[in-house]
Amino acid sequence: MSITAIPRLASPDAELSAALAERERRVAEGSALLHAGALAVVRLSARMPASLRRRGMAGVPIARGAALFESECRRRALHLKYEGGGDGALGPWLLWSSSAPPLALKTAALYVEESSWLGLLLDLDIQGSQGAIGRAELCLPPRSCVICGGPSMVCSGRLAHPVSSLDAAFMYILKRSGADRLGSQDGNAVGASTPLTIREIA
């Protein structure tokens, strides 16, 4: 699961254009796998500011997150087929197709995201034939902002927090998870924090 880094783009306008193009590419990539017969597509990416991704801080969380997710899917007897990975304007990613029900995969993904400090650094997106499977399908609230605890999408859309505060918050999470340094990528070093929602997800 090697990931090749890309250089930083020259201007904010170029970065925005590249990010929009990458979103479209990801949608098309997932749709192609679904049209080829997969029941679901899973994409793992890093949940952290672009400034930290550019410093190469996403590689270890992605590798450990992949190991955790694959292990959880094996435990739940959910089939996964690794389809590749890479790096782009939205950061590094790994991709799987699956013959398992999308909602079951989302349940496993949320368990990984909510069960440890490492999970706070991961985005596991599930796409089925009817579109993306969100937390609402499991009657769960939106993901929380790591700074204020409000809905993260609202804070992100409003640019509610300074970049320096976001960097500091995610660096703290990286250190608590053990993913701020190279080492074992078998998913064992994940920190120890279990939010209350984990009991609802399991």
CA–CA distance, 78 with 88 (Å, rounded to integer):
28
User: 7-12: long-range contacts at Cβ-Cβ below 8 A with a sequence spacing of 24 or more?
Assistant: 8/54, 9/89
Tokens of residue 165, six digits: 């505060």
pLDDT for the residue numbered 1: 57
Closest CA to 52 of 153, 171, 185: 171
Q: Are 180 and 174 in contact (CB under 8 A)?
A: yes
Q: What percent of the chain has pLDDT over 70?
A: 84
pLDDT for the residue numbered 6: 47
Only one residue has tokens 């929602």, namely 197
SS3 66: helix
Q: Please state which of the ranges 31-40, 52-61, 145-154, 173-182 shows the lowest mean pLDDT.
A: 173-182
Mean pLDDT over residues 14-21, rounded?
Answer: 88
Give the global pTM.
0.83
Q: How far is CA 56 from CA 26, 152, 201, in A?
A: 21, 23, 31
Bridge partner residues of 40 (DSSP): 98, 128
Based on C-alpha coordinates, what's the Rg of the chain?
16
Average pLDDT for the chain? 85
pLDDT for the residue numbered 159: 87
Other C-beta atoms lying within 10 Å of the C-beta of residue 117: 20
pLDDT at position 184 over 60 = no
